[in-house]
Amino acid sequence: MIFTPQEISAICLSLSISFKSIMMAIVPSIGFGYLLARKNFLGKFILDALLNSSLVLPPVVIGLILLLVFGNNGPIGKYLAQLGMPLVFTANGAAFASAVMIFPLMLRIIKQAIFAINPDLEFMAKSLGAKPLDVFFSIILPNSYHGIIAAILVGFAASLGEFGAVITFAANIEGQTQTLALAIYSALQSPNGEESAIRLSLVAIIISILSLMASAALQKFGNRVRNA
């Protein structure tokens, strides 16, 4: 299978953007996952619904919201533009849009992993004088790392296929924001582009399936360790 320079560019850019999106989403996913799994507070269900809203909203709507807020004339985007860090129509913007879309997927996996940790471990640590931050780093993270890694792999696979939010917020600029999904779309819009679309689709399918298989294996291993 021989790829054109444009296809190689789209593959490499897509991998780079997916990696960046994971880096953007992982810390909030862990933080909110812990909050929702271990804390009870007024408005918890509302916060949970808001954090998961991108699962049910059309991706184009998410992209539009990001454009209104983080665009060069938006309430936040104008300050980023003044600092020389614009997001709209950039690779970082594509990663940001993708991170917003994959965040709830990662959040749900991490929340479940933290929820499965025996609360008695935290209680014993606190009874021995451990502070909340100590409990988080000595109990929560070590016992949920399987779920965190699984969330990263699922998020990576989902990021590769993100389309609507990315094209709305970052556009489809070859060599800058054109990911695998956007390159496939462009190929299908071009005369005789079916072969290119098929090649790129096969790459996306292989990477996604391998990521999902690795995620499932890690979750199964984590369950086995907890039940041992």
Q: Model confidence over 39-95: pLDDT tens digits?
A: 888 999 999 999 999 999 999 999 999 999 999 889 999 999 888 899 999 999 999
For residue 223, what pLDDT is reported? 66
Assess contact for 87 and 171: CB atoms under 8 A.
no
Mean of pLDDT values over 106-131: 89
Distance CA 66, CA 68 (A): 5
Domains of the chain: 5-227 (1.10.3720.10)
Read off the pTM: 0.89
pLDDT band for 227, please (50, 70, 90 cuts).
low
Residue 3: what pLDDT? Answer: 84
How many angstroms separate the CA atoms of 130 and 132, rounded?
7
Q: What angle do CA 86, 16, 101 make, to 5 degrees?
A: 70
Q: Is the pLDDT of residue 226 over 70?
A: no
* Per-residue model confidence (pLDDT) at position 218: 74
92-104 pLDDT, tens digit per residue, is 999 999 999 999 9
Contacts of 152 (CB under 8 A, 6+ apart): 22, 26, 106
Q: CA 44, 50, 52, 57 torsion: positive or negative?
A: positive
